Structure 1
Amino acid sequence: MSVLTRDEAQTRAQLLDVQHYTVDLDLTTGDETFESTSLIRFTARTAGDTFVELKPETLHSALLDDAPLDITTLEGNRLPLRLGAGEHVLRITATMRYSRTGEGMHRFTDPSDGESYVYTQLFMEDVQRVFAAFDQPDLKAVFEVSVDAPEGWTVLANGITEQQPDGRWKAAPTPPLSTYFVCFAAGPWHSVRTEHAGLPFGIHCRRSLAAHLDADADEILTVTKACYDRFHEKFEEPYPFDSYDQAFVPEFNSGAMENPGLVTFRDEFVFRSAVTVTERQTRAMVIAHEMAHMWFGDLVTLRWWDDIWLNESFAEYMGYQTLNEACSDLFPDTWVDFGVTRKAWGYEADQRPSTHPVAPDPESVPDTASALLNFDGISYAKGASALRQLVTWLGEKDFLAGINIHFKRHRFGNATLADFIDNLAAATDRDVHAWAEQWLRTTGVDTLTPALTGEGLHWKLTVDRDGARPHRIAAGLYDRDPSGDLVLRERRELDVPQTEPAELTGPRPALVVLNDEDLTYAKLRFDAVSEESALRGLSRIPDPLTRAVIWNALRDMVRDGDLAPRDYLEIALAHLTEETELAVVQGVLGFARAQIADRYVTEEQRPAALATISEIARALLRHTEDGEAPGLRLTAVRAFIDSATTPDKIASWLDDGTVHGGPELDPELRWRILVRLAVLGATDEPTIAAELERDPSATGQEGAARCRASLPTPEAKAAAWSALFDTDDLSNYLFTATAQGFWQPEQSALVREYVPRFYPAAIALSDRRGAAMAEAAGRYAFPAYAIDQESLTLGEQHLDDDRMIPALHRKLVDQLDDLARALRAREA
């Protein structure tokens, strides 16, 4: 399939003015394909040649101004058009194929009840899998969609839908939208509907999840309404669409998608098992994130994909900040979770060979294939961190004034980074253009280290900066009180680079924490006295955000080889058992388990690492026996299961259906235990089949696939490998589950023969199944636990294979860099 280049898009945008699409879809023709007719009204500003895109199973007809086109000229995804100047009508009829990869029109049949559902995910260039279109973001148009759906189905779309007397569903015409925002979802949905601010609001899921959605409906709608109201306090432009629906859909590749008026979410956010308040907060943040897109992304859209960060960074920042403001009673401080987990994603991405500026040069995004690579921790977490630093430097009042200028000038249109910066500059006297060059056009992470000089009651604080960006930070100065707690003396605002050292009054602080409120994006180090105080008194610092900043610094030190992995685990053992902030516990345990125990320590050291994590979990379980902290207890139970090196204790939990002292085992915990038992060779196929009969849901199917691939036998590994790479039968989610089970640190010798087979198999799979499955293969099916120089060299040799599509190549570059880092960490 041809990718669209930036030059081609610019040429077509100069030629065409697209006004209106009428899209008719028939979903009643079977489980494999559907019928699609699109009628496009547009104007050619001059005579010229161009093309329309579609990826049909069968192209039946194409009429330009009622004259038939030669459909045999369709090459790849392009049907050529020769146009005279003036108005035109293009009508294309085709049979299209449903997807099982989460792209285009994804079809899913629920194993719980046999009901089927379809939904669209048309991002980047996947609208072509559903209907013909001039597929680029700056050719906005009005869309009218009608759908013929099976009896008993409901159709949701960007606008309010109504079923017509003939049974067809018709959606209200949209405002001007980019092609990738068109969305509909059809099936026998379970819906909860209400009104707010004069608009219909709805939340929807498949019927088998109805009870779980109903249980959380009040919370979901409370968050939605509160964020809606808060955005209207911030933004002068009112919400620009006629309704607000949120559909939780199966086998969704992303967290969510900001389709105007119909946001789609992965339906794991309809919690069918116990979750922590931090996981509920994550769902709420995603709701806020996608709602922010209604303005930044949907109302004002990027002109080309080099500015995707504008959409994602803005929504990421606004998601956390607005949730913090609107729902503080439910979620007291969202920035702690951002600092511990989300921000680490940005730091890691920014230190790989594949790093790029937050706002890349347009020439570095020459086509849609390269644009797809930039949906990473830089465009989301680093970009959001940069915006948070901008607000700190600029002031929220001026920042919002600039944003509102941006919305007013470009409503229902397209804008670029230059437009955004110009609009911010119109609201302030500060040099926003210089700030953007220093922050948005550069790569890498600065490192800040404090240095103190002086004696007695007179000290000076100097901030050493390894890097080139300006920072406005808060330096936290802490003293140790008689009880041993570290108490805040003051937070001193500093600009880095400094014009002169900061004068401190009083004795030397026991601890200096740079970036104490986590307002900038930089790695941190400590002076010797502060490092000793932090390592000794980390759990006795009162502010959870400060503790999060220090834990992040320790994580970076491990990754950079400045702190031995085993020492990190000992610090966690000393302090995590006293930690009360759930986001911190989850973030630290997650890093300890997935990175340190599985990758950063040697095979000989791994049992001791797992034993330390288990000891932390046991201590947390003892501390939570009174039932006062169910989220902390659930986190400890999960960590204990995942770190078990012998099967007896967790097998007894599975037999009893409960953990002693609680909680009772819900489906998520039962499958988690069974996976670990499979890894340890303490279960078998009949037991897995019995558990699947107990839980025949889609999640159960994934759990069974994960368990079967985890069994430590040659036969189980051969069957899993064949399912992954020899056929295309697995959906995106079943592929992921099987891949997650296949590679296990305990089974490195068993699967060693598959390491060299991975590269040709992944290349062939990517060529057959496309970018989404390439990303899944690179992320989940990569031999991440083959940590040795031979494996690294093998992978680097395959990077030169010109058959590898960009999505897979980028993922493997990152994986191999992480592998090299793991090797260095083992040497620390």
Structure 2
Amino acid sequence: MSVLTRDEAQTRAQLLDVHHYAVDLDLTGGDETFGSTSRIRFTARTAGDTFVELKPDALHSVTLDGAPLDPAALTENRLPLTLTEGEHELTVTATMRYSHTGEGMHRFLDPTDGESYVYTQLFMEDVQRVFAAFDQPDLKAVFDIAVTAPEGWTVLSNGITEQGEDGRWTAATTPPLSTYFVCVAAGPWHSIRTEHAGLPFGIHCRRSLAPYLDADADEILAVTKACYDRYHEKFDEPYPFDSYDQAFVPEFNPGAMENPGLVTFRDEFVFRSAVTATERMTRAMVIAHEMAHMWFGDLVTLRWWDDIWLNESFAEYMGYQTVNEACSDLFADTWIDFGVTRKSWGYDADQRPSTHPVAPDPEGVPDTASALLNFDGISYAKGASALRQLVAWLGETDFLAGLNIHFKRHKFGNATLADFIDNLAAATDRDVHAWAEQWLRTTGVDTLTPRLTGEGNRWDLAVDRAGSRPHRIQAGLYDRRPDGELALRERLLLDVPQQEPARLTGPRPDLVVLNDGDLGYAKLRFDEVSEESALRGLSRIPDPLTRAVVWNAVRDMVRDGELAPADYLEIARAHLPEETELAIVQGVLAFARQEIADRYVSADDRPAALAALREIARCLLRRTEDGEEPDLRLTAVRALVDSATTPDQIASWLDEGTVHGGPELDPELRWRILARLAVLGATDEAAIAAELERDPSATGQEGAARCRAGLPDPAAKAAAWAAMFDSDDLSNYLFTATALGFWQPEQADLVQEYVERFYDAAIALGDRRGPAMAEAAGRHAFPAYAVDADSLALGERRLADGTMIPALHRKLVDQLDDLARALRVREALG
């Protein structure tokens, strides 16, 4: 299929002014295809040639101003149009194919009750899979959506929907929208409706999840309403759409999508098993993130995809900040979780060869295929960190004033980075343009290290910077008390580079923490005295956000080969049993398990690493025996299951249906245990089938696929491989579940033959099934545990072939860089 280039989009935008779409979809034609008619009214400013996009199963008819055009003229996904100057109406009628990859119109059959659901995900260029369109973000138009649906279905869309005769639903006319924001979700939804601020609000899920949505409805709606009210305190422009629906949909690729008036979420956010407060906070943050897009993204939209960071960085920052402000009665400080888990995503991405500026040069995003690659830790986590640094430097009052200028000037239109910076500059005397060049147009992570000089009670603090960006940070000075606590003496506000060292009062501090409060974006190191204090007294630092900053620094030291992985595990063993902040426990355990135990230590040292993790988990279990910290106990149980090297204890839990002292085993824990037993060779197909009969849900199907792929049996591996790569039957979620089970560090010899086979298989899959499945293959089906020089050399040779689609190429660049890093860590301290 042809991808749209930036030059083509600019040319078409100069030619066309698109006014209105009437889209008519017929969902009653069976499980494979649906009907689509698109009527587009537009103006050609001059006579000229252009094209409309469509990816049909069958194109039936095309008329331009009432005159038929030849459907055979469709080439790949483009139908050429020759236009005279003036008004035009184009009508395209086609049959379209449902997707099972989370792109276009995705169709899902719920194995629990046999009900079907469909929903659209039209991001980037996937509107063409649903109806004909001039598919680029700066050709906004008004939409009228009509859908004919089976009896018993409810149809949701961007505007309020009403049901007419013969199953035909119509949605209220929208304000001007970019094509990728159009959304339809149809099926026998379970819905909970309410009203807030004079608007209808609703939350929706498939019927089989109804009890779980009902259980969480009060929290979801409370978060939604609190964030809505907080945004109206921040923004002068009112919410610009006629309703606010949130649909939790199955097999959704991203976390959520900001369709105006109808936000779609992956339905894992309807929790059917026990979750921790941190996971609930993540759901709240995603709700706030998507709502922020109603202004930044939906009301004011990027002109071209080089400015996608403006959408995502802004929503990421506002999501965390707004939950912190509006939902503090429900959740702890959201910035702790951001610092421990989300920010590391940005740091890691920024150190790979694929890094790019937060705001890439437009020439660096020449087409939609390259634009898709920028949805990563840079555009989300680093961009949000940069905005947080901007707010610290600019002040929130001026920042919000600039945003409100931006919304007023560009509402229902399109804007660029230059527009955004100009509007911020209009609200402050600071040089925002220079800030943008230094922060948004550069790549890489600066490293900041404290340097103390002096004696007695006269000490100076200088900050050595490896990098080029300016930083406004706090430096926390801590003294060790007789009881071992590292007590805060003071926090100094520093601008780096410094004009001169900061003069301290009192004796040399025992610990200096740069970026205390985590308002900056930089890797941190310690002076010699501070490093000893930090590693020995980490759990005795009173502020959890400061502990998160220190843990991130220690993590980076491991990744950079400056701290042995075994030493990290010893630090975790010393301090995690005393840690009170759940997000820190979860983040440290995840890094220790997924990176250290599985990749950074050798096969000979792995049993000791897993033993250290089990010891930490058991300490946490002992600490939570009184039932006072159920979230921490759940985290410990998960860690103990994932790190088990013998089946006895976890098998007994599965047999008894409970962990002694709690928790009871819900479906998530049962599948987690069974997956680990499968890897250990302590279960079989009969047990997996019995568990699937117990839980025949969609997540049960995924759990069974993962367990079957995890069995240490050549036939099981061959069957899993064939399911992933030799047919196209697996949906996006079942593919991922199978891939997650297939590669296991314990089974390196068993799957060695598949390491080389991966590349041809993944390339062919990407060519057949497109970018979403290619990305899934690169992310989940890559042989990440083959940490050896031969595997790296093989991957680099195949990467140089240049025969794979961009989504797979980008993912393999990242995977191979991570593999090279794992080898360097082993070599540096092995």
Structure 2 residue aligned with 1:115: 115
The residue type equivalent to 1:366 in the other structure is P
Tell me, what secondary structure is at the counterpart of 1:384? helix
Q: CA deviation at 1:738?
A: 0.2
Contact 2:150–2:167 (CA under 8 A) maintained in structure 1: no
Counterpart in the other structure of 1:488: 488
Distance 2:248 2:405 in 1: 34
- 3-state SS of 1:800 partner: helix
Partner residue in 2 for 1:319: 319
Counterpart amino acid of 2:107? R
> Partner amino acid for 2:692?
L
1:597 aligns with 2:587: no
Matches within 5 A, 1:226-265: 226-265=226-265
SS in 1 for 2:210: helix
Provide Cα deviations, 1:245-270, integer angstroms capped at 9, x if missing partner: 00000000000000000000000000
TM-score computed with the length of structure 2 as normaliser: 1.00
Partner residue of 1:791? 791
Structure 2 equivalent of residue 692 of structure 1: 692
Q: Report the equivalent of 2:38.
A: 38
* Alignment match, 2:518: 518
Structure 1, residues 490-509: CA drift from partner, whole Å, max 9, x if none? 01000000000000000110
CA distance in 1, matches of 2:523, 2:576: 22
Are residue 340 (structure 1) and residue 336 (structure 2) matched? Answer: no
Q: Does 1:825 align with 2:806?
A: no
Q: CA deviation at 1:167?
A: 2.8
1:47 aligns with 2:15: no
Counterpart in the other structure of 1:281 = 281
Indicate the residue corresponding to 2:200 in structure 1: 200
Task: Measure, in 2, the Cα distance between the counterparts of 1:94 and 1:668.
Answer: 42
Q: Partner of 2:477 in structure 1?
A: 477
Unaligned segments of structure 1, at least 5 residues:
none
Deviation at 1:166, TM superposition (A): 3.8
Q: What is the CA distance between 1:70 and its match in structure 2?
A: 1.0
Segments of structure 2 that go 5 or more residues without pairing to the other structure are none
Partner of 2:646: 646
- Counterpart of 1:305, as a letter, is W
Partner SS for 1:185: strand
Q: Which residue of 2 aligns with 1:816?
A: 816
Alignment of 1:772-783 (within 5 A): 772-783=772-783
Equivalent-residue separation in structure 1 for 2:25 and 2:108 (angstroms)? 18
SS of residue in 1 equivalent to 2:195: strand
Matched with 1:498 is 498
Q: In structure 2, the residue corresponding to 1:169 is in which secondary structure?
A: strand
Specify the alignment match of 1:130 in structure 2. 130
User: In 1, distance between residues paired with 2:569 and 2:167?
Assistant: 62
Q: CA deviation at 1:801?
A: 2.2
- What is the match of residue 676 of structure 1? 676
TM-superposed deviation, 1:210: 0.1
SS of 2:584's equivalent in the other structure is helix
CA distance in 2, matches of 1:529, 1:586: 28
Contact 2:202 2:244 in 1 (8 A): yes
Q: Does 1:210 align with 2:238?
A: no
How do 1:342-421 and structure 2 match up within 5 A? 342-421=342-421
- Write the letter of the residue equivalent to 1:738: T
Query: Among the aligned pairs, what percent are the same residue?
Result: 85
> Partner letter of residue 116 of structure 1?
S
Task: Give 1:803 shift.
Answer: 2.2
Counterpart Cα distance in 2 of 1:787 and 1:490: 45
Separation in 1 of the partners of 2:352 and 2:555? 16
CA distance in 2 between partners of 1:180 and 1:152 (Å): 28
Structure 1 match to 2:608: 608
Q: Secondary structure at the match of 2:193?
A: strand
Partner of 1:77: 77
Kindly provide the CA deviation profile for residues 572-617 of structure 1, in whole angstroms up to 9, marking residues without a partner as x: 0000010010000000000000000000000000000000000000
Provide the C-alpha distance between the structure 2 equivalents of 1:34 and 1:740, rounded to a whole number of angstroms. Answer: 33
C-alpha distance in 2, partners of 1:824/1:649?
A: 36
C-alpha separation in 1, matches of 2:159 and 2:408: 23
Q: Contact 2:65–2:90 at 8 Å: present in 1 too?
A: yes
Amino acid at match of 1:18: V
Partner of 1:24: 24
- Provide the secondary structure at the position in 2 that maps to 1:445: coil
- Separation of aligned partners in 2, 1:738 and 1:65: 50
Please name the residue that 1:267 is paired with: 267
Per the alignment, residue 553 of structure 2 pairs with 553
The equivalent of 2:139 in structure 1 is 139
Supply the AA of the counterpart residue of 1:531.
E
The aligned counterpart of 2:159 is 159
Measure how far apart 1:822 and its partner are. 0.4
Q: How far 1:332 moved relative to its partner?
A: 2.2
Deviation per residue, 1:488-533 (Å, 9 max, x gap): 0001000000000000000110100000000010000000000000
Match of 2:621 in 1: 621
Find the aligned partners of 1:148 and 1:484 in 2 and give their Cα distance: 69
**Aligned-pair CA distance for 1:481:** 1.1
1:450 corresponds in structure 2 to 450
Aligned with 1:174: secondary structure?
A: coil
Please give the alpha-carbon distance, in whole angstroms, between the structure 1 residues aligned to 2:562 and 2:363.
Answer: 37
Shift of 1:800: 1.9
Secondary structure in 2 matching 1:479? strand
RMSD: 0.4
- Write the distance in 2 (CA, Å) between the matches of 1:50 and 1:719: 47
The residue identity in structure 1 corresponding to 2:794 is L
Deviations 1:533-562 (Å, cap 9, x if unpaired)?
Answer: 001110011100000000000000000001
Indicate the SS of the match to 2:81: strand
8 Å CA contact 2:439–2:469 kept in 1: the answer is yes
Deviation digits for residues 94-144 of structure 1, max 9, x if unmatched? 000000000000000000000000000000000000000000000000000
Residue type matched to 1:715 in 2? A
Partner amino acid for 2:813? V
Matching residue of 1:703: 703
Q: Equivalences for 1:415-434 in 2 at 5 Å? A: 415-434=415-434
> How many Å separate the matches in 2 of 1:165 and 1:650?
56
CA distance in 2, matches of 1:209, 1:662: 24
Q: Secondary structure at the match of 2:439?
A: helix
SS of residue in 2 equivalent to 1:588? helix
| Aligned residue runs from structure 1 range 181-196, under 5 A | 181-196=181-196
Q: Which amino acid aligns with 1:426?
A: A
Structure 2 CA distance for aligned equivalents of residues 166 and 613 of structure 1: 60
The Cα shift of 1:482 comes to 1.5
AA at the equivalent of 2:807: A
Q: State the alpha-carbon separation in 2 of the partners of residues 8 and 817 from structure 1.
A: 34
What residue identity is the alignment partner of 2:501?
A: P
* AA partner of residue 207 (structure 2): R
The CA distance in 2 between the partners of 1:734 and 1:61, in whole Å, is: 36
User: Number of residues paired by the alignment?
Assistant: 828
What's the secondary structure of 1:493's corresponding residue?
A: strand
| Separation of aligned partners in 1, 2:353 and 2:563 | 22
In the TM superposition, residue 780 of structure 1 has moved relative to its aligned partner by: 0.2
Deviation, 1:296, is 0.1
| Mapped partners of 1:71, 1:332: distance in 2 | 58
Where does residue 465 of structure 1 map in the other structure?
465
Deviation at 1:164, TM superposition (A): 1.1
C-alpha offsets along residues 661-699 of structure 1, whole Å, 9 cap, x if unaligned? 000000000000000000000000000000000000000
1:750-796 CA-partner distances (Å, limit 9, x unpaired): 00000000000000000000000000000000000001000000000
Q: Residue 165 of structure 2: SS of its match in structure 1? A: coil
Q: TM-score, normalised by structure 1?
A: 1.00
The C-alpha deviation readout for 1:265-306, integer Å capped at 9, x for no partner, is: 000000000000000000000000000000000000000000
Which amino acid is the alignment partner of residue 564 of structure 1? A
Post-superposition offset of 1:709 = 0.1
Are 1:727 and 2:727 matched, yes or no? yes
Amino acid of the residue matched to residue 224 of structure 1?
Answer: T
Q: Distance in 1 between matches of 2:167 and 2:436?
A: 53
Q: Is the 8 A contact 2:339 2:549 kept in 1?
A: yes
1:602-634 per-residue CA deviation (whole Å, 9 max, x = no partner) reads 000000000000000000000000111110000
- The code of the aligned residue for 2:756 comes to P
> What is the aligned partner in structure 2 of residue 328 from structure 1?
328
